[in-house]
Amino acid sequence: MTPLYEGKAKRLFTTDHPDELLMEFKDSATAFNGAKKAEFENKGRFNKALTVLIYRALEARGVPTHFVRDAGDIAIIVKKVSIIPIELVVRNVVAGSLAKRLGRPEGGKLRQPLVELYFKDDALGDPMINDEHVRELGLASPEELGRLKQFGLRVNDLLGDLFAGAGLTLVDFKLEFGRLATDPSTVVLADEISPDTCRLWDAQTGEKMDKDRFRRDLGGVMESYAEVLRRLEKELAPKS
Ligand code: TMP
Ligand code: ASP
């Protein structure tokens, strides 16, 4: 295995299969474009386990992802893709940067799911963009961008139901997509889906159960990730 790429929360390695990579989840957490950093024991393990559960659930419901198979405690095998440099955020409830941008308090339900696009570029701090910027930057064709948004809304429906069953409100989340190395016209979900990339609030108490606990110094970060994993495992366990 040869290291190929190291990001803030994951590492990618080549494998002996030319179209597959190994994706390893690190214990590092960053926020505010890397300005805030910390290590959390077991974070890689929790996020790996959650991503596997979620990708399997999505695949079973017809959503294609880059997931191939589990590869131990902190790693998975994924299909080789070229990442589309668009971060697609879907929101159901006002929180985070939307609360600031619109001057609305956190917690208000949105009339309908809201889709936002961000340009995945660390040097620029991932600025928010719109369809016209996507066209100008040549990031995706209008048809492809339309598909990404449809994907986002479908994933929102599926994950919203899944988390609701686990007593969690899916406030918002971020998706990334890749074009398959073997067939660039096929776009699949890539990266991870975990409490690093979703806002999840306890449906009863409203307690934050995601990376906002780190971003906002609320404490109990890994306890929340472990609880999300426990609830999702229970929700997805075969019912007898
Ligand atoms: P925001 O409110 O800060 O824009 O975040 C919206 C959602 O996107 C939230 O669920 C967290 C997730 N997110 C990421 O996964 N990566 C990022 O770099 C940022 C800024 C947000
Ligand atoms: N992932 C981003 C960073 O590392 C920001 C965030 O999730 O808040 O800085």
Let me know if the fold of 3-79 is the same as that of 82-220. no
| Dist CA 162 CA 199 (whole Å) | 14
Is the per-residue pLDDT at 1 higher than 90? Answer: no
Give the β-pairing of 10-14 and 81-93.
unpaired
Is residue 60 classed exposed, middle or buried when 0-12, 13-18 and 19+ CB atoms within 10 A define those classes?
exposed
Q: Helix, strand, or coil here: 39? A: strand
> Phi and psi dihedrals of 155, rounded to 5?
-60, -40
Of 199, 232, 194, 227, the residue nearest 213 (C-alpha): 199
pLDDT tens per residue, range 164-217: 999 999 999 999 999 999 999 999 999 999 999 999 999 999 999 999 999 999
Cα-to-centroid distance, 34 and ligand 2 (Å): 6
What residue owns the CA closest to ligand 1's atom 14?
Answer: 197
Report the C-alpha gap between 224 and 58 in whole angstroms: 23
Every domain of the chain and the residues it spans: 3-79, 82-220
89, 90, 170, 210: which to mutate for ligand 1, most atoms within 8 A of CB? Answer: 89
pLDDT above 90 covers what percent of the chain? 98
- List the one residue out of 139, 50, 138, 51 whose CA is nearest residue 88: 139
Nearest CA to ligand 1 atom 18: 33
| CB of 147 sitting under 6 A from ligand 2 | no
* Angle formed by the axes of helices 142-165 and 43-60, nearest 10°: 110
As a whole number, mean pLDDT of residues 138-158 equals 98
The predicted pLDDT at position 28 comes to 98
**CATH number among 3.40.640.10, 3.40.430.10, 2.60.40.2550, 3.30.200.20, domain 3-79:** 3.30.200.20
* Average of per-residue pLDDT values in the chain: 97
| Superfamily per CATH, domain 82-220 | ATP-grasp fold, B domain (3.30.470.20)
Residue with tokens 């995601």: 210
Rounded mean pLDDT of 102-125? 98
For ligand 2, whether the C-beta of 31 sits within 6 Å is yes
Collapse the DSSP code of 206 into the 3-class scheme (helix H, G, I; strand E, B; otherwise coil) and give the result: coil
